[in-house]
Chain A
């Protein structure tokens, strides 16, 4: 699980340029076409392509029986999806905003995650829950969490994040194909990003495989979702200064590709995690903990760049921008880590 690649050999399909939103739509469409057990459910999923337009055309192509609008009752429709998953279906549930996941916390933590285990392995739960999260949209505290670490403690779940069109397509298809329950986190600020997508099941990396976004030698940066996107921009800004960042997008938070991350840190000797969440109890802390336990010789102490102090996301636009790691703050953190002077605080 330790070789990283962005694109995969073994696929004869050419990559197509599309947006992240279109990539999600393509993954859903290709899964629904390949397997009639795949069924979508959630609030407004069938209404004009869904609130984020990720489901465009699906109800028209596959019918109302396979793209179902639910009432507003997350705990119940996730629980119902569990019942479907153990009786021959492969449901994909959409939670409109990742902030709403706690509304379904019981169904996810106590039922979905534990179901196979409590049954002594009698069933598997091929269920996917997609949720859309993240800040910068000025949506306020209850519509801005990424949610990616909310359920990290729940063994029995797999958790994935999508940071680019290619990884959105690949991760979502891998999640739907997997026999276990997977939470997939998308970021609303990434929907317009363009990138190449290989629309082929054969091109999809295995579950748990991290993505090497950028090769580098001075420091390993681990980042997900919008932070991966911003880190890439920061890396491009730092390259002419002679600071060469290696960027790893873990893609999967559960199970996480720790061998790949550790191998990279072993080469660069420096670790920075960039996360759009508080540090406590998040995946960033898990990465740093594992690197510390591994005994890898480091050239500098590991650093976490998280939400500014222990805050929540405000509505106020300049304050929202101030609390979420920006390209500038990532540049400054990388400079500090590599030992360079920081020109702005």
Chain B
């Protein structure tokens, strides 16, 4: 069920430029995060998404402001795509009180209720039931919000993924599940842990549509996601989207990804999502011939400035932290 590029509805140029900017922002943010880690300003661990930007931007851009989103520990891209500010994200990763979660969550737990980003989870699969709950809540309260959740290929092997697809199907929940199949679950290639090659096949077991999309093409991702969101909003129930993509970096900061066969990374870099959209926009005359170089410089300045401001902020004190355990 490959998406059909010819039938693509027209997205206006300014929107495409926004998507390009968002993808560049994510790319440069992730690169800066890497450097900040090495400088000791970000600690613990971090999971980067370079190469997968088109999936977060394309899918998240299909959501309306009142829709809900849950993401994984590899979630910086989705958070930024949804509208989290660079400074809020940097500050959170640096543990500062100006971070979206006051520094208490960190890289793996970005949340911002003001933009419907209701949680990011380190437990594989844990975001799916929470998104399901938000979807059910929306129908129960007679709102028309949709919930979207992201997880990786490895996450489709955990029990709750299957339980959620089943329950979402039975309850016709307005849920969109986006699987980012980047061919590896942590250090293990897909084939060694997963019984199917195409994750979308799993949708059939629950009687819901499963759609495969080229995860490097942001326009395709958006088209497919928008269709799924519309289905959900219309009361037709959940959809499973599988985006075929690739992560340039290892699973986490301490993974050099030496389990990859030689040449695989280079092959995928030939379909870099930012390059693909830039090329299209240059061909259409929307972007000047020098491509995105000026855009990149602008975004780099914004990234550097945000990181600098974030690093200047302080930390929450213990009493302020304790107030975040219980509400009552």
Contact = CB atoms under 8 A, between A and B. Distances in A.
Do A's and B's CB atoms come within 8 Å in the complex? yes
Interface in A54-104: 65-66, 68, 70-71, 73, 75-89, 91
B163 A75 contact: yes
B321 to A, nearest CB: 8
A122 B100 CA distance: 9
Interface stretch (B13-21, B33-41, B106-114): B106-114
A312 interface: no
Given A79-B160, A117-B104, A117-B325, A110 B119 contact: no
Contact of A79 (B133, B138, B147, B327): B133
A223 B138 CA distance: 42
A91 B137 CA distance: 10
B136 A84 contact: yes
Contacts of A106: 123, 126, 160
Contact of A122 (B68, B113, B140, B167): B113
A207 B328 contact: yes
B148 interface: no
Interface in B162-183: 163-164, 166-167, 170-171
A123 interface: yes
B167 A77 contact: yes
Given A71-B170, A106-B123, A111-B123, A87 B134 contact: yes
Contacts of A293: none
Categorize the interface residue count of chain B.
35 or more
Given A123-B113, A124-B327, A180-B326, A83 B131 contact: yes
B130 A80 contact: yes
B328 A87 contact: no
A84 B134 contact: yes
Nearest to B123: A110
B33 to A, nearest CB: 19
Contacts of A207: 328
A115 interface: yes
Contacts of B140: 39, 65-66, 84, 89
Interface in B75-128: 99-105, 109, 111-113, 118-119, 121-123, 126, 128
Interface in A20-46: 39
A151 to B, nearest CB: 15
Contacts of B171: 68
* Max chain B C-beta neighbours (<10 A), residue from A66, A91, A111: A111
Interface string B304-328: 0000000000000000000111111
Interface residues of A, number: 45
Contacts of B121: 110-111
Contacts of A158: 326
A118 interface: yes
A111 B130 contact: yes
B328 to A, nearest CB: 4
A79 B118 contact: no
A178 interface: yes
A83 B325 contact: no
A76 B163 CA distance: 6
B141 interface: yes
A80 B325 contact: no
Nearest to B104: A120
A75 B135 CA distance: 17
A156 B324 CA distance: 9
Contacts of B327: 116, 121, 124-125, 179-180
B212 to A, nearest CB: 25
A156 B113 contact: no
Nearest to B171: A68
Contact of B167 (A65, A73, A85, A156): A73
A58 to B, nearest CB: 15
B132 interface: yes
B189 interface: no
B209 interface: no
B134 A83 contact: yes
Contacts of B103: 120
A309 to B, nearest CB: 35
A211 B99 CA distance: 43
B9 interface: no
A110 B127 CA distance: 11
B122 to A, nearest CB: 8
A41 to B, nearest CB: 9
B291 interface: no
A73 B167 CA distance: 9
Contact of B133 (A83, A122, A155, A180): A83
A244 B304 CA distance: 73
B325 A107 contact: no
29 contacts: A70-B167, A71-B170, A76-B132, A78-B129, A79-B129, A80-B129, A80-B132, A83-B118, A83-B135, A84-B136, A84-B137, A86-B118, A86-B130, A86-B134, A87-B68, A106-B123, A106-B160, A115-B119, A116-B324, A118-B104, A118-B109, A118-B119, A120-B104, A120-B111, A122-B101, A124-B328, A156-B326, A179-B326, A207-B328
Q: Which 9 A-B pairs have the closest CB atoms?
A: A83-B133, A79-B129, A120-B102, A124-B327, A120-B101, A73-B163, A80-B133, A76-B163, A121-B324
Given A79-B133, A107-B126, A119-B113, 4 more contacts: A83-B134, A110-B122, A110-B126, A116-B327
Interface of B: 68, 70, 99-105, 109, 111-113, 118-119, 121-123, 126, 128-138, 140-141, 147, 159-160, 163-164, 166-167, 170-171, 323-328
Interface of A: 39, 65-66, 68, 70-71, 73, 75-89, 91, 106-107, 110-111, 115-125, 155-156, 158, 178-180, 207
